Amino acid sequence: MGHDHGHGHVAADGRRLRLAIAIVALGLVAQLVGAWLSGSLALLADSGHMLSDLAGLVIALVATIVAARPASGRQTYGYRRAEVFAAFVNGLVLLAVSLSVAVAAVSRLVAVGEHEVLGLPMLVVGLVGGATNVAALLVLRGGATHSINMRGAYLEVLGDLLGSAAVVVAAVVVLTTGFTQADSVGSLIIAAMIVPRAWSLLREAIRVLFGSAPGDIDLESVRTHIGDTPGVVSAHDVHAWQITSGATVFSAHVVVEREVFCDMKVDETLDALDRCLAAHFSVEHATFQLEPADHAGHERETHA
Bridge partners of 244?
A: 247
The DSSP-derived string for 189-231 is HHHHHHHHHHHHHHHHHHHHHTTPPPTT--HHHHHHHHHTSTT
Q: Is the pLDDT of residue 72 over 60?
A: yes
Domain that includes residue 82, residue range:
2-209
Assign 2 a pLDDT band (cuts: 50, 70, 90).
very low
Whether residue 288 sits in one domain with residue 146: no
Whether residue 181 sits in one domain with residue 128: yes
What is the pLDDT, as a whole number, of residue 81?
A: 82
Whose CA is closest to 135, among 65, 30, 218, 239? Answer: 30
Q: What is the pLDDT of residues 123-179, one digit of tens each?
A: 887 788 888 888 888 888 777 676 777 777 787 788 778 777 877 888 888 888 877
What is the pLDDT, as a whole number, of residue 46?
A: 67
Whether residue 223 sits in one domain with residue 104: no
Q: What does the mean pLDDT of the chain come to?
A: 79
Does 163 reside within a domain?
A: yes
Whether residue 118 sits in one domain with residue 246: no
Domain boundary among 178, 209, 240: 209
Contact between residue 125 and residue 38 where contact means Cβ atoms under 8 Å apart:
yes
Q: Is the pLDDT of residue 119 over 70?
A: yes
Q: What is the pLDDT of residues 191-250, one digit of tens each?
A: 787 788 788 888 888 888 888 888 778 888 888 888 888 888 888 888 888 887 778 888
Assign 99 a pLDDT band (cuts: 50, 70, 90).
confident
Does 304 reside within a domain?
A: no
- What is the total count of domains within the chain? 2
